[in-house]
Amino acid sequence: MAKNDLRKEQALAYHAKGRPGKIEVIPTKKAKTQRDLALAYSPGVAEPCLEIARNVENVYKYTAKGNLVAVISNGTAVLGLGDIGPEAGKPVMEGKGVLFKIFADIDVFDIEVNEKDPQKFVEIVKALEPTFGGINLEDIKAPECFYIEQELRKQMNIPVMHDDQHGTAIISAAALINALEIQKKKIDRVKFVVNGAGAAAMACVLLYQELGAKPSNFLMFDKHGVLSKDRTDLEEMKLPFANATRELSLAEAMKGADVFIGLSAGNTVSADMVKSMAKNPIVFAMANPDPEISWEAATGARKDIIMATGRSDYPNQVNNVLGFPYIFRGALDVRARVINTEMKLAAVRALAGLAKMPVPDIVNLAYNQEKMAFGADYIIPKPLDPRLLTAVAPAVARAAMETGVAYHQIHDWEHYSRELDKRLGVDNQVLRAMGAKARSAPKRIVFAEGENVKILKAAQIVLDEGIGYPQLIGDKKEIEVIAAENSIDISGMVIFDPRSEDMIEKRKEYGDLFFRKRARKGYTKEEAHKLMKERNHFGCMMVEQGDADCMLAGLTKKYDEAIRPALQIIGTEPGVNRVAGMYLVMTKKGPLFLADTTVNFNPTAEELAEIVLLTAKEVKAFNLTPRIAMLSYSNFGSSKSPESRLVSQARMLVKEKMPDLIVDGEMQANIALNNGLLQEIYPFSDLVGQQVNTLIFPNLASGNIAYNILLEIGSTDAVGPIVMGLKKPVHLLQLGSTVSNIVNMAMIAVIDAQLKTKPPVTDDRKGTRLLKRKTD
Ligand SMILES: NC(=O)C1=CN([C@@H]2O[C@H](COP(=O)(O)OP(=O)(O)OC[C@H]3O[C@@H](n4cnc5c(N)ncnc54)[C@H](OP(=O)(O)O)[C@@H]3O)[C@@H](O)[C@H]2O)C=CC1
Ligand SMILES: CC(=O)C(=O)O
Ligand SMILES: [Mg+2]
């Protein structure tokens, strides 16, 4: 399948699967009991209604208005796809809602309006003012968008921003300042060629002029050619940009130009045009989804170029996603009534400045780069940089206050920054960083259940996303049929069938080794050889013998059956007497690790202590400081039962071995997760002032039950079970895991392999050596 077909298929499946689309509405208040409902709705709801009727300002106090932005479009200029209509634009608007939420914790209603008449459109949007704290106009074509935004800014008392104009202008201006600095050019001297004379292009030119660019230094093009005074077909909005004194082709205009700005349509610029530009040129080809000229063509044309596109798969992504979440966050937080030029310039400076700061590890990890630093391929921060929120939102908020457009004042900026950080949570960051870490050194990963369709789908994602090199165990023909039926591309994967003739030699090698390991544990040599036809044993042997780096199994087997081969063949780490299982659950308060959820039925105090130590080590592998609560049904000796005493005894054993570990118990789960309550009742606890991120359960029943309840009824995402204590990375899936569970577990297995295995001696990174040998 061609790469584009794959992208198309995956994108369509992503939008269609499960609940169609990308968003849902989630209540923020408890609405479970009769009492809750009486408060949330009638009769209780009448009280806030009356308060708001008394003073309309109270709408910010009692409703979601203050954090709610409307992303509104009529679908007339959707990306670079043109006038495809409001319904066709909806996926983009939902997508912006997702970005507002994940990057700035702003809630969005996407509103697609079937109205092209600018005046009527204005009336519709204006009438929505009571609902929203801000209005993000999106993908509305020029010239109508100018009138619409201008009128709404005048008529509405909440911030209105047409993002294709100002978002793009802000981001590209930040990138431009930095690119000019690197190319040692002055903004008031450089000559610009701008392809596109629409919403985005005009706003960019105007903002660059605010930064010092000379109006006469721009040559602008629309679909019909260069904007010149001679043209009689130009709309009024285009006249101020009509600088050309004669008719001129784009190729002619590009000769000797310093900066090219593309906000038009894909593939409209050639490599020759780029070659003809002045020394040290800057090319921002920002049309979506395909830029005016590809990254390869432009950077291939000359070495002295600084190149940027709107795409996420190349360096220097100049895309308005770097701006709108943070600009609105700042504007909402001070209740700005507009987004004015000073606020936009503040965002430009904040973004440009952030690109010059040292890049934190989490960003390098997320982009699979060892070292990103300010320079030609890093002129603007990356969209996944978690510092964007605290860099841009306060700058915008401050500018709003200084220019007198803020209804609300922020006094304690440090506190504000901390609150912003909290909004992001670390769960997304953890998952993103995990993915990036896995991708930084992908490993050969054995999937023991190759004939399972979920496994095959996950394996394809693992391969496509560069997480690892899947090695499938199973019947080759059967795997191929299932893959074909489900349009899964397995061409880059290696298949091993332990039952096949091809594997006789391997079965013998593995069987002999197994016999040596288990001879005194009741196995005959024949039994050992026979056992190697079994997929989990064969897979574990591949890992043990270095024919693979890690393994995932257990999707269709009971846990104790699935883990047995790993214990028999691989065994525990030196100095460790047992294995245990851990889940990572993503919660609103951040990641929460739960253990033991899978292996040890009724651990003794010594065993529980060992589980704590294993878990602490694993949490540290995620670069997080473990803050551990050891759970029971009592608090710090309030019950003298043997179960409660066992937990506090285990805690003492842990403390003896690791005095600095932040761990306390025994305690109840609600006390562990509610620091206010802990401080109030048990102020002596080690966990006062600490946000607990690890829960240790007293036995398997409680751990497993708690985990499954959380997953089924909470809106949590989880990764696990992560096996702890094995010498080599074998991980087991839970019966019925979803494809995304499997992919997440593959990341865990690869990261574990990175920690536990040395780089392969040969360059057989994809694991084809075994196959080659068999066919020799
Ligand atoms: N990277 C980013 O963050 C962003 C990128 N964009 C991209 O910028 C482009 C324009 O968006 P927007 O301004 O909102 O849309 P508009 O519809 O308002 O403007 C499009 C402009 O491009 C011109 N144009 C179209 N085709 C050509 C061509 N072949 N040669 C020269 N000019 C052409 C149009 O000419 P005419 O006036 O004659 O119709 C018009 O002036 C889109 O591709 C969009 O994806 C937009 C916003 C953000
Ligand atoms: C990114 C964006 O808003 C656009 O391409 O229209
Ligand atoms: Mg847009």
Annotated catalytic, 454? Answer: no
pLDDT in the model for residue 773: 40
From residue 15, alpha-carbon distances to 86, 136, 260, 588 in Å are 17, 23, 35, 24
Per-residue pLDDT tens for 378-408?
999 999 888 899 999 999 999 999 999 999 9
Range of the domain at 539: 435-571+759-773
Q: For residue 493, is it within any domain? A: yes
ipTM: 0.98
Q: Which of 139, 145, 263, 290 to mutate to test the pocket of ligand 2 (most atoms within 8 A of CB)?
A: 139
Poorest-pLDDT segment among 13-22, 408-417, 579-588, 760-769: 760-769
Q: Is the CB of 317 under 6 A from ligand 2?
A: no
Per-residue pLDDT tens for 715-741?
567 888 999 999 999 999 988 888 888
Q: For residue 13, is it within any domain? A: no
Instruction: Tell me, in angstroms, the distance from the centre of ligand 3 to residue 138's CA.
Output: 5
User: Which CATH number is 332's domain given?
Assistant: 3.40.50.720
Q: Which of 8, 14, 30, 41 is catalytic?
A: 41
- Specify whether the CB–CB gap between 267 and 261 falls below 8 A: no
- Burial of 341 per CB tally in 10 Å (0-12, 13-18, 19+): middle
Q: Is the CB of 76 under 6 A from ligand 2?
A: no
| Same domain (yes/no): 122, 185 | no
Q: For residue 753, is it within any domain? A: no
| Same domain (yes/no): 280, 176 | yes
| Same domain (yes/no): 464, 517 | yes
Helices 504-518 and 535-544: crossing angle in degrees, nearest 10, is 80
| Same domain (yes/no): 342, 204 | yes
Q: Is the CB of 288 under 6 A from ligand 2?
A: yes
Minimum-distance ligand 1 atom for the alpha carbon of 76: 17
| Same domain (yes/no): 412, 330 | yes
Give the chain's domain count: 4
> Mean pLDDT across the stretch 598-605?
95
| Same domain (yes/no): 610, 624 | yes
Q: For residue 7, is it within any domain? A: no
User: Which CATH number is 614's domain given?
Assistant: 3.40.50.10750
User: Which CATH number is 553's domain given?
Assistant: 3.40.50.10950
The share of the chain scoring above pLDDT 70, in percent, equals 94
| Same domain (yes/no): 340, 486 | no
Residue nearest atom 46 in ligand 1 by C-alpha distance? 164
Residue nearest atom 2 in ligand 2 by C-alpha distance? 79
Minimum-distance ligand 2 atom for the alpha carbon of 78: 6
Q: Which of 76, 96, 320, 324 to mutate to test the pocket of ligand 2 (most atoms within 8 A of CB)?
A: 320
What average pLDDT is seen over the chain? 92
| Same domain (yes/no): 517, 636 | no
| Residue where a domain terminates, one of 381, 400, 424 | 424
- Burial of 617 per CB tally in 10 Å (0-12, 13-18, 19+): middle
Q: For residue 743, is it within any domain? A: no
| Same domain (yes/no): 71, 105 | yes
Q: Give the CA angle between residues 510, 513, 519 to the nearest 5°.
A: 130
pLDDT in the model for residue 216: 97
pLDDT band at 17 (very low <50, low <70, confident <90, very high): confident
| Same domain (yes/no): 590, 534 | no
Looking only at Cα atoms, what is the longest distance across the chain? 96
Per-residue pLDDT tens for 246-267?
999 999 999 999 999 999 999 9
| Residue where a domain terminates, one of 158, 177, 210 | 158
Q: For residue 752, is it within any domain? A: no
Query: What is the number of H-type helices and E-type strands within the chain?
Result: 31, 21
3-state secondary structure of 715: coil
User: Which CATH number is 97's domain given?
Assistant: 3.40.50.10380
Minimum-distance ligand 2 atom for the alpha carbon of 80: 5
| Residue where a domain terminates, one of 424, 459, 492 | 424
Q: For residue 3, is it within any domain? A: no
> Mean pLDDT across the stretch 418-433?
72
Per-residue pLDDT tens for 203-213?
999 999 999 99
SS3 of 375-430: the string is ECCECCCCCCCCHHHHHHHHHHHHHHHHCCCECCCCCCHHHHHHHHHHHHCCHHHH
Per-residue pLDDT tens for 432-473?
778 878 888 899 999 999 999 999 999 999 998 889 999 999
Q: For residue 473, is it within any domain? A: yes
| Same domain (yes/no): 139, 196 | no
Annotated catalytic, 682? Answer: no
Minimum-distance ligand 2 atom for the alpha carbon of 289: 5
pLDDT band at 775 (very low <50, low <70, confident <90, very high): very low
| Same domain (yes/no): 375, 485 | no
